[in-house]
A and B are shown apart, each in its own frame.
Chain A
Amino acid sequence: MKFFAVRAGSIALAVAACFALQSFAVGKGDLFFRLVFLAGLYVTLAVSLNLINGITGQFSIGHAAFYMVGAYGAGYMANNYAGSWGLKGPLLMLVLLLIGAVVAAVAGLVVGLPSLRLRGDYLAVVTLGFGEIIRIFVQNSPPLGGAYGLTVDAQFKFKYVWMVWLLAILCIAVCRNLLKSAHGLPFLAVREDEIASSAMGVNVTRVKVTAFVIGSAFAGAAGAMLANFDGFISPTSFPMELSFTILTMVVLGGTGSITGSALAGGVLFYIPEYLRDLKPVSGSSLVAAVIAVIAAVYVVKRIADHYHGDKGKRAALYLGTIIAGVALQMILAAVFKNVPSLANANFEASKLRMVIFSSTLIILMLLRPQGVFAHHEFSWSWVQRLFGKKVPTTAVSV
């Protein structure tokens, strides 16, 4: 009884938080609203790819294809059939979301079944190829709008930030629960050693396909949300780079870490988006930023290499370095303002955008090749330990 009370409570809390986020974001303008929406999508995409690549150890590099399949599946069904279903609002969106998930899951099964039976990197090749095939197929398919894109009927446009965040939370919960129960172990075992797994009775192909289909289904659900949020999708919305961006999120967050991919998904997509709207930067702040970043990276690297003491203190040192870096940038910028040649030179941020984005990635990989979270997960006992509390490690850690 207590179990179900707690469960109902946490679900209610999640729903409430998502609605609170929606009403908060609604008041902040269209652009911000869309960013909050996209953040939820990317969290879903990164966490679902992490299930395939990080937890089960397969190498899929075409996640955007399943996102696309879900988007087109839902968009097409909405335009052609949804009118006669007699559904409205959230319920209709939910059905469309399920359609996106199912279509992408079927695509995942078709792609995964033959390629996952084989060992090695066939999956990488096949998923990459699948992404291209799907895009070319859509480009040449008039019912799907071809190269011009598909406009989803205005009555099926749903601006549900809350729903996309519920989807993200569901995706995280599914992965988390899997790893908390013994059922998750075969997935990890397959990642570690396929031959030993099968000797222990694990049906390796089945485990891989299961992970692949679940991951694809979540990507498809995310696609359905996108199609019905923007009301317009086109093949160019799903370029190959998008797959690589999602992959980067997983690697950067720490392959296998749900927490890592969720955070990387939420943050990483935002960097280029944020830089897109950046005002031209004055030479003074740019030079200040470069100096501050180099200094901070240097200090962080020193700490990582030479300070092996208490984890909490080390985290505090990192945090201090980052704050000091920001402060340094501000101070230097203020100082450089007095240098006319710097203060008057303006750099267009849009041109620097990709440079900044890539250097961010390089710096992160330099400092932490295993990913920000490595294989760690967020948990309350972890937080408590971080703050120096002695928490008995549970007898069993899964």
Chain B
Amino acid sequence: MVSVATRAAIDAEIAKMPEKRGALLAALRLVQAEYGYLPPEVMEEVAQIFGLHPTEVFEVVSFYNHFHVQPRGRHEVNVCTSLTCSLRGGRGLLRQLQAYLGVRAGQTTEDGRISLGHEECLGACGNAPMLRIDDTYHLDLDWVRTQQLLDGLE
């Protein structure tokens, strides 16, 4: 069951929209923040709140990159590999990260600390190469700085 606080936050999102379903993405984000991912029974609960069939919720979840149906690491580290970052070493940075962490993009480190990934253009091309750790952008990176950022993660 989602917590009382999360449920209240979902209701507040629903109140902002002309139709209930307009708050579905917001609700999924809130629930994912509580559980770290979207377990099936939680998606069913969300479906109930919205009066939808669970498969309708599952379809939406699988369409968007930010929703996860498997447990994730404590931190999301996503390297931008778009053309603009690639021209300035973004893909080299990803290769070094994979070697350093011993995982490939799309995997989580064994200690559950980091889920490594790469993303399309994050809209910071003037500061390439860059990566995103959870909700924070880190710009104008080199390998030394990147290593420091990683080592600082709990």
Partners in one complex: no
